[in-house]
Each structure stands twice: as structure tokens, then as C-alpha cells.
A and B are shown apart, each in its own frame.
Chain A
């Protein structure tokens, strides 16, 4: 089946089984391996991407459900002002250790700050608890989100 969708602002057509998860279409068919496979069951968040601005677990999303929609992945998240601030904060605090979960973390953090520009720690924990980090970079993830939030409010004042 041919599916048309927009990925990272580019129109793409994919010929795939309609049940094939978006994760594997991104990784195998569209050359975008930044989105990671962790659990295949929506339990770890490593495959988090945005569809029309909302986070989804790409491992649980059949490609047919993404037809006609806008998909944003880690490779393009910095194109939005919030995504840019988040990735900059991630670099500034050197959040990653092994780095494997970080694409998902950054996607979830970007969605959080887009919806809620100044979250407190409880709001950060609630929004990020779906993203596992086996190296346990959680303390820096909290800090980086707060840092990106502050950078955002400074940007708004300027």
C-alpha cells in the first residue's frame, strides 16, 4: 500500500504494509534511524515522535494512522524554537550518557514545553515518566528542561 505523509516538512510516499509501525518505516524505509526501538510496546518511550504536534509512540502507530499527517522526528525537532532550546539545553548540560533514549526524551520534553512553558518538577516528572533512561540521566533531564524553560522566558522578554 502506498502511504503519503509529511515527514520533517518533506512530503514522502511509502510503499508498505499498512500495519507496519511508523517506527520501522522511519528507520528502514525513510533513512531516519534517530528514532529508536526499545520495547515495541509503548513502555519505554525511545520511539517517541510527534504527529501533528502531539507525541506518539512510533512502535505502536501503524503507518496507515500517519497517512496525510505531519510527522516530526529527532532529526528535525530543532527546527522549532522550543525544540531548538531543548536540544541546546541538552548539549549545554551534557545530558546523554549512552544516548540511546535521548531522542525520545527530547521529543517528550519539547512537547511538554510547547504545551506548558514553565513546568515545575512535578509537572516535568509527570510528563517525562513514560521515557525510560537506563543510564538514569534523570537529574540532568529535569535540569535541562528547566534550563530550556528559562531560556524560553528570557527569549519572550527580549
Chain B
């Protein structure tokens, strides 16, 4: 999910600051109400009005991760205002002005931790310079607090608002060298700040993408070729066109997301319900030659057959795994798998657009609005300055809204209806059957142990879905997957199964699957070696040190890993693998992803032989020196845990027959419901002196193997295939 930017973030933030009053961050929204005098922009992110009310632009898409609250907290801290003075508004999508504006990869915290603080600190310096001039004193003799400037020697004080015009005319200090607060002086960072949108949400007033309303707006439903990659052969639209309320029928082919042929037909009406219902009358014939042979059963058979033979390709070869395996004191082998799954955001994919006079304006619940805008430009042949993207709230993202297929689709519909705003909405079946799925995968493991239970050899033959001879998006394997860097003889190899399924990044991509198979298998290895998994982890990692995982990749700090493993064991009172009693079981899992270290312990009870009740989950995480908003941090972790539990035991599996997905709704692709949620999820953070990293994803992966390992402890049954099922 990493997206690299060739732009220098620091440079354009400086430009934005220098632009001063010339920029506005919400061209579409009314300026703060109730002010008589014109508010003044101090920089691209900060506006202060005559009443000393501070409006802060929040640049990143809000998908439930709390970023719309968190980024302004960083600015407000260094601007040195009280949070109660602050109003938050979303900015437009404009990466040249605001820097990166994406929600993905748990990157928002590490990417913005310094720049957002620098933006606040620079504005504070501009205010200090203006006050120093007005009062004819040295700026160094001034202090700030709660949006006020004080001059101790003369006893003078004034609010920031007294200096806003002069401050906006000041040159911006260099962001790189602007002084920042010491952590011990933080007043906002580290506080539990409620979500800025919560009051609107509980009144039904928060505007999600699907709620965007424009004068004269019409509604589009979409009939997508059920078989991925199919094209429109013919269409009889007469009956549909004759229905009351139908405005237009627009054939679409983005060719962009996913790439290649990907036809659809949009039906536009004066009501979405009318448009969606009219789909029954549309006689569309699809050309799906060569595409209907793809099926879940076919993939599973092919993977099983591939595992019986030699792998197609070596991925990692360290030492002599085959030789070491042959001379090992003991060997363990097991086969693990996981299915395709969907993101199933509760707000179905949707997008609104208005095309007029050769320009397009888009309202998008997207995780990557700027790159979506670029795709629209490519699809419609528009220059960047002809495209405006408004970032709306999104009813969940989980990686689905990184893709922007809906943006390209609605842009094509809007272009066919110039001057009329169009809102495209997927129904639930469209959303379920036209996703970018977490790819399935199959792993054949073998480990060799020495007489002390140490791993001396490890093999994994990984079978992954492929397209055009390469693993599909999010279907690749990290060559440094733990414990590859800690075992003398390793062989990771790969074979591929062709698919037409579009795939994508699902919360903690690759990690959500790899954690399950590796930590599940290592639990088996630990048992064979006469120890438990935390102990195997400690022994395998050895002394505390930083281990580079791969070229330009992350560094794995075994001391931090050990820190969370020890912490969670202490929290739960882990006493090693115990024999199950009365259906109770406890399992452990660890994973390092998105720069975060997480160790988790799951307590379950199995009743009636097959019913799995998750009682409690313990979580210890290390994401650096600072938990920026502790309340939202706990929410992210608890949500990630339940998300992982849902993948494990709710029964989630996207299946394909004749090239098309068969799941349609939450009946056949279930989410976890409240009565299956654990009573308690206890969360603790271990602080390490490194800058804070992200939390949207890294808490999720370990809970899945921890649960599988708990089921083994409770029942003696190793469940090696997701979704986990006891009994028939």
C-alpha cells in the first residue's frame, strides 16, 4: 500500500505558507459563521478570525481512523492555542498545497507528525514577529499560551487576532528549523480529544459521500459485467428508457481500474431507487469469452496440485534448507490457506460529479482523492486544473476506497450529462461483487528443529493468484517474513494460479494473511520443540538488536518485539501452554507491520463442541514515543481486533463461480455482530523513544493466529484454513 511521492513535501508546505492570504482551504464552504470582520489565512492550514476563533484545515480523508481530529491537534499544539478555540474544516484535495492527502498504509502519522507541527509552529512565529513589531519589542521576549501573546516585562497581553493581518504579511520561517515544543510541554498531544464530527454524526448531520446533495442532482445505478474483465456485446435499452423517471443510459468502460476491459452500463434517473430497480429491465449481453472458467473450486484444486510438485520459482534461499531438514532432530509440516475476502465498507461505493464547461467537480469518499482526480483526468482527457476534488467523509475505507473506480465511472456518466450533477451509488450486491479483494493464498510449510527445539530449517511453498504472469496486487510475499532473518536455512518458493479477480489492499494488506499462517505454524513448531509461542519467539529473535529486513525496507527491532511480547504475557498472566479445561483455551500471536509491534492473547470458550466464544483479548503495542490521542488509539485497536476476529470466525469467504462472485450481501458475507464481540479488549502501549507511527492497521494481524492457537488449546484441533470452523 506504499505510495511514493516524487514531490518534496517540505518544499510545497513552504510555498503554501508563503502564499499567505492568497489561499483558502475550503473554497466550497462558508467561512466561520458569526464573524463580522474577514478572517485571515495565516497559511494554507490556519485561519484566525477577529474573535480569535481558530479554524484549522484537516487535509486527509476521514474513514473512521480519527485523522480529521488528529492532524489539527498537531497544528493546534504548536500554534499554542486551546483545543476549545479550534474549529476543524476539511480541505480540498490539492497535494501541491497541502502535501500528501491519502489514508492508507498507516502512513498518516509518520508522514505528518513533523510537517503538521511545523505548520503550527511557523504560524506562531509569524504572529510573534507581528506582535514584536507592533509593540516594538524583541520577539524573543514574547511568550504564548491559549492563543494569547504575552510580554512579561511590560505586562502586555493580546489575543492572536490582534495581529492577524500583520502576521499574514510576515515571511514564513523555514519549516525545517522552526522551533518545536518539547514533548513535556504538550497540552493537546497526548490528550483524549473526541472526534470533531461526533456531534454532527449523532444528529444525522455529518455529510458522507452518499449524502452529497446538489441542486438538480440526478442519480445513477450501475450494471457492471458480472464476470470480471467482460465487455458489453449488445444492449436493448428500449424498455428501460420507457420507464418513468429514467433520464439516460450510459455505457461505460474505464479501462483504468482495474486495468483492461471492464464494461458497465449506468442507468440515470430522478431517484436512485428508480434507477436501481430499472436494471431488471435492461437487456445487456456481455462478452466473457475465456473468463468464465475462473472459480474458487478451480483455484483450490490447482493450489493443491501445485503443492504436490516443485515450486515454479524460488523467492528466498538462505543456507541449505533441504540438507538441514534432512539432518534435523524433528520436522513439522502443515498446510495453511486463506480465502479471497471483501472490504464490505458499510457505506457502499459511491461518488458525485458535475461536468460543465469542460471542467469537472467531484465529491468523493476516497482514501486517495488526489490520485483519483488524476485518473479522471486520464479517462476524460482533462488537464489537472479542470478537475476539482472535494473530500467527503467516508463510511469506512479498509483499503477499498484506495481504488477510485467509482470516481472514474461517475466522471464518465457526468460527462454524458453536462451541467447536471450525478450521484452514482452501488447497491450492496454491486459492492460485494465488484470489489478489489484480499487475495487468497495457500502455504505448504515445513520446519526442522534441533534437539533443543530451535528452528534450523524452514520451508514455505506459497501459492498465490496471478495475472499476466505476476502475483496479483497484494498477493506477493515479503521475503523477510518472520522468522526468515533468524533461521540459518530458509527456502521460500512460489507457484501461481491465474485469476481474473481484481485484488487490492485490505487493512494490513498481506500481513492480515501472513500473520495467520506463520504465527499459526510457529505455534505448531513451538509445541513440537516443547515450548510455547512467546518463548519460541524470544529464543528465535535472540538479543535485542535492529535487524534490517530488506533493501530500503523497515528495520525490525527485536528489543521492541520482545517488549510487547513480555508486556502482553504479563497483562494476561500467561503461564505457558496449558491443557484445556471446560472448553477454555488461550492463544498467542505476534506481528510486526506498518512499523508497529503487536503481541496479543485471546481467551476463548468452546461450547457444544463447535461454538467459539471470544471472551477477552489482551493487546500490547509499540508504535513509538507518543500516543497522540489515547482515546482514539484505543478505539483503533479495539476495532482492528474485532475486524480480525470477523475475518477469522464470522464465515467470510468470497467465492467465484463461472468467473463471477456469488456473495451478495451480509447474509452470505457476514460481519461480526455485537453479540459475538468480546466482553473486553484490554489495550496497553509500550513506549519506545522513536517518532510515533500509525495505528490503523498493525493491531489487526496477530489476533487471527492468536485465536486459531486458542482454538487448538481449547480443543486440540488445529484449524489451518480461514475462515476457521469447528465441526462439519
Residue of B271, B344, B641 with most partner-chain A CB within 10 A: B271
A130 to chain B, nearest CB (A): 8
The A-contacting residues of B in range 601-639, CB under 8 angstroms, are 631-632, 635, 638-639
Asked if residues A38 and B203 are in contact (CB atoms below 8 Å), the reply is: no
The A-contacting residues of B in range 201-245, CB under 8 angstroms, are 201-208, 210-211, 213, 219
**B residues near A32, Cβ cutoff 8 Å:** 204
Asked if residues A94 and B195 are in contact (CB atoms below 8 Å), the reply is: yes
B43 CB within 8 Å of chain A: no
Asked if residues B202 and A102 are in contact (CB atoms below 8 Å), the reply is: yes
The A-contacting residues of B in range 666-698, CB under 8 angstroms, are 666-667, 671-675, 677-681
B62 CB within 8 Å of chain A: yes
B376 CB within 8 Å of chain A: no
Contact of A96 among B65, B198, B272, B641 (CB under 8 A): B198
**B residues near A28, Cβ cutoff 8 Å:** 219, 271-273
A57 CB within 8 Å of chain B: no
Closest residue on chain B to residue A16 by CB atoms:
B271
Residue of B396, B427, B641, B680 with most partner-chain A CB within 10 A: B396
Chain B interface SS verdict (over half): loop
B726 CB within 8 Å of chain A: no
**B residues near A141, Cβ cutoff 8 Å:** 674
- Asked if A121 meets B679 with Cβ closer than 8 Å, knowing A100-B396, A142-B674, the reply is yes
The A-contacting residues of B in range 235-266, CB under 8 angstroms, are none
A111-139 near B? 1/0 per residue, CB < 8 Å: 00000000001001110111111111111
**A residues near B635, Cβ cutoff 8 Å:** 94, 97, 135, 137, 140
Asked if residues A102 and B201 are in contact (CB atoms below 8 Å), the reply is: yes
Contact of A46 among B198, B346, B638, B667 (CB under 8 A): B346
Asked if residues A39 and B666 are in contact (CB atoms below 8 Å), the reply is: yes
Asked if residues A34 and B643 are in contact (CB atoms below 8 Å), the reply is: no
The B-contacting residues of A in range 81-108, CB under 8 angstroms, are 87, 90-91, 94-103, 106
Q: A41-B666, A98-B346, A133-B346 are in contact. List 20 more A-B contacts (CB 8 A).
A: A27-B211, A33-B210, A40-B428, A41-B667, A44-B666, A46-B346, A87-B203, A91-B199, A91-B202, A94-B195, A94-B632, A96-B202, A97-B65, A98-B396, A100-B347, A125-B674, A132-B671, A136-B646, A138-B677, A139-B681
Residue of B204, B208, B425 with most partner-chain A CB within 10 A: B204
Asked if residues A98 and B394 are in contact (CB atoms below 8 Å), the reply is: yes
A75 CB within 8 Å of chain B: yes
The B-contacting residues of A in range 29-68, CB under 8 angstroms, are 31-41, 43-44, 46
CA distance A97 to B203 in the complex (A): 15
Number of interface residues of B (CB under 8 A): 62
12 contacts between A and B (CB under 8 A): A34-B205, A37-B425, A41-B667, A94-B198, A96-B201, A98-B64, A100-B347, A100-B395, A100-B396, A126-B675, A134-B395, A138-B642
B66 CB within 8 Å of chain A: yes
Asked if residues A135 and B64 are in contact (CB atoms below 8 Å), the reply is: yes
CA distance A17 to B271 in the complex (A): 11
**B residues near A137, Cβ cutoff 8 Å:** 635, 639
Asked if residues B272 and A38 are in contact (CB atoms below 8 Å), the reply is: no
Closest residue on chain B to residue A139 by CB atoms:
B638
**B residues near A134, Cβ cutoff 8 Å:** 344-346, 395-396, 398, 671
A74 CB within 8 Å of chain B: yes
**A residues near B646, Cβ cutoff 8 Å:** 136
Asked if residues A21 and B273 are in contact (CB atoms below 8 Å), the reply is: yes
Closest residue on chain B to residue A46 by CB atoms:
B346
Number of interface residues of A (CB under 8 A): 57
Asked if residues B348 and A37 are in contact (CB atoms below 8 Å), the reply is: yes
B665 CB within 8 Å of chain A: yes
CA distance A122 to B396 in the complex (A): 27
**B residues near A35, Cβ cutoff 8 Å:** 204
Asked if residues B673 and A129 are in contact (CB atoms below 8 Å), the reply is: yes
Closest residue on chain B to residue A100 by CB atoms:
B395
Asked if residues B205 and A75 are in contact (CB atoms below 8 Å), the reply is: yes
CA distance A142 to B638 in the complex (A): 14
A12 CB within 8 Å of chain B: no
CA distance A121 to B210 in the complex (A): 33
Asked if residues B197 and A96 are in contact (CB atoms below 8 Å), the reply is: yes
A34 to chain B, nearest CB (A): 2
- Asked if A34 meets B665 with Cβ closer than 8 Å, knowing A90-B198, A140-B635, the reply is no
**B residues near A21, Cβ cutoff 8 Å:** 273
**B residues near A43, Cβ cutoff 8 Å:** 665-667
Asked if residues A38 and B348 are in contact (CB atoms below 8 Å), the reply is: yes
**B residues near A69, Cβ cutoff 8 Å:** none
Residue of A73, A130, A132 with most partner-chain B CB within 10 A: A132
B438 CB within 8 Å of chain A: no
CA distance A98 to B66 in the complex (A): 8
Contact of A33 among B197, B204, B643 (CB under 8 A): B204
- Asked if A129 meets B64 with Cβ closer than 8 Å, knowing A74-B203, A134-B346, the reply is no
A78 CB within 8 Å of chain B: yes
B548 CB within 8 Å of chain A: no
B387-425 near A? 1/0 per residue, CB < 8 Å: 000000111111000000000000000000000000001
**A residues near B347, Cβ cutoff 8 Å:** 36, 38, 98, 100
In the A-B complex, the 8 residue pairs with the closest CB atoms: A34-B204, A100-B395, A98-B64, A136-B642, A74-B204, A99-B201, A97-B64, A125-B675
B63 CB within 8 Å of chain A: yes
The A-contacting residues of B in range 62-80, CB under 8 angstroms, are 62-66
A11 CB within 8 Å of chain B: no
**A residues near B207, Cβ cutoff 8 Å:** 33
A19 to chain B, nearest CB (A): 8
The A-contacting residues of B in range 581-606, CB under 8 angstroms, are none
The A-contacting residues of B in range 53-67, CB under 8 angstroms, are 62-66
Asked if residues A20 and B639 are in contact (CB atoms below 8 Å), the reply is: no
B194 CB within 8 Å of chain A: yes
Contact of B666 among A106, A132, A135 (CB under 8 A): A132
Asked if residues A98 and B393 are in contact (CB atoms below 8 Å), the reply is: yes
Asked if residues A94 and B642 are in contact (CB atoms below 8 Å), the reply is: no
Contact of B202 among A38, A44, A87, A139 (CB under 8 A): A87
Contact of B427 among A40, A74, A106, A133 (CB under 8 A): A40
CA distance A34 to B200 in the complex (A): 10
**B residues near A100, Cβ cutoff 8 Å:** 208, 346-347, 395-396
- Asked if A24 meets B639 with Cβ closer than 8 Å, knowing A98-B63, A103-B204, the reply is no
Residue of B210, B427, B639 with most partner-chain A CB within 10 A: B639
Contact of B665 among A39, A87, A133, A142 (CB under 8 A): A39
Contact of A36 among B274, B344, B395, B679 (CB under 8 A): B395
Closest residue on chain B to residue A75 by CB atoms:
B204
Asked if residues B675 and A129 are in contact (CB atoms below 8 Å), the reply is: yes
Contact of A131 among B205, B211, B219, B674 (CB under 8 A): B674
CA distance A130 to B650 in the complex (A): 15
A155 to chain B, nearest CB (A): 19
Asked if residues B428 and A106 are in contact (CB atoms below 8 Å), the reply is: no
Asked if residues B639 and A135 are in contact (CB atoms below 8 Å), the reply is: yes
**A residues near B397, Cβ cutoff 8 Å:** 98
CA distance A104 to B711 in the complex (A): 34
Asked if residues B672 and A136 are in contact (CB atoms below 8 Å), the reply is: yes
B378 to chain A, nearest CB (A): 29
Contact of B198 among A24, A75, A78, A99 (CB under 8 A): A99
Asked if residues B666 and A73 are in contact (CB atoms below 8 Å), the reply is: no
Asked if residues A139 and B677 are in contact (CB atoms below 8 Å), the reply is: yes
**B residues near A44, Cβ cutoff 8 Å:** 346, 666
**A residues near B197, Cβ cutoff 8 Å:** 96, 99
Asked if residues B639 and A97 are in contact (CB atoms below 8 Å), the reply is: yes
